[in-house]
């Protein structure tokens, strides 16, 4: 069930167990990151000096999708313990780099989605004028193709 549409509830699949690193953070900091909105990806990196490994978690997503649904009263506490999955390791792998590049492109993707919504509304408004729909469609296509989001590595697989 998508957390955007339904409250957090146990799933029919049961609980999953994953290895995590607990990390305590001040709730004042979390509220600051939350207030920045979903267009900005705030990523926490944990560096383990003895093993020389680096782990990450997107706090923007974690707050909205995990922290608040699991603990709606976290804002009333002084600090909160977050769980950083061990599988979120910065490594010399394609998957790790793709995920981090998508975080870095979040603002550009948000711009793309806003532009697509605007263009959809305009095309709907012009839908009874076939020539205008063709003109707008061609213009909108040119505008969209100029955006840098198409350079993201995962688009190639779509």
Cβ burial of 140 (10 Å; 0-12, 13-18, 19+) is: middle
Q: What is the pTM of this model?
A: 0.74
Structural domain including 126 reads 106-153
- For residues 82 and 116, membership in a common domain is answered with no
- For residues 51 and 122, membership in a common domain is answered with no
Residue 1, CA atoms < 13 Å, CB-side half-sphere: 12
pLDDT in tens, 113-141: 999 999 999 999 999 999 999 999 999 99
Q: Does residue 158 belong to any structural domain of this protein?
A: no
- For residues 70 and 138, membership in a common domain is answered with no
pLDDT in tens, 12-54: 556 778 899 999 999 999 999 999 988 889 999 999 999 999 9
The structure tokens listed for 17 are 């167990």
- For residues 26 and 85, membership in a common domain is answered with yes
Q: In what order do the strands lie in the sheet with 89-90?
A: 43-48, 53-58, 89-90
- For residues 61 and 73, membership in a common domain is answered with yes
Question: Would you give the end-to-end CA distance of the chain in angstroms?
Answer: 24
- For residues 145 and 119, membership in a common domain is answered with yes
């Amino acid at each position: 069930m998508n957390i955007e549409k339904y409250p957090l509830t146990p799933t029919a699949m049961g609980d999953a167990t994953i290895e995590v690193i607990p990390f305590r953070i001040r709730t004042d900091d979390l509220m600051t990151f939350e207030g920045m909105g979903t267009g900005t990806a705030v990523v926490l990196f944990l560096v383990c000096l003895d093993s020389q490994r680096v782990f990450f978690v997107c706090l923007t997503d974690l707050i909205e999708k995990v922290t608040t649904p699991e603990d709606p009263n976290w804002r009333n506490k002084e600090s909160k313990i977050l769980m950083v999955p061990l599988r979120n390791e910065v490594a010399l792998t394609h998957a790790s780099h793709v995920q981090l590049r998508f975080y870095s492109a979040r603002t550009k993707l948000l711009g793309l989605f806003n532009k697509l919504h605007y263009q959809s509304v305009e095309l709907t408004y012009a839908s009874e004028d076939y020539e205008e729909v063709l003109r707008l469609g061609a213009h909108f296509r040119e505008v969209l193709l100029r955006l840098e989001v198409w350079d993201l590595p995962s688009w190639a697989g779509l």
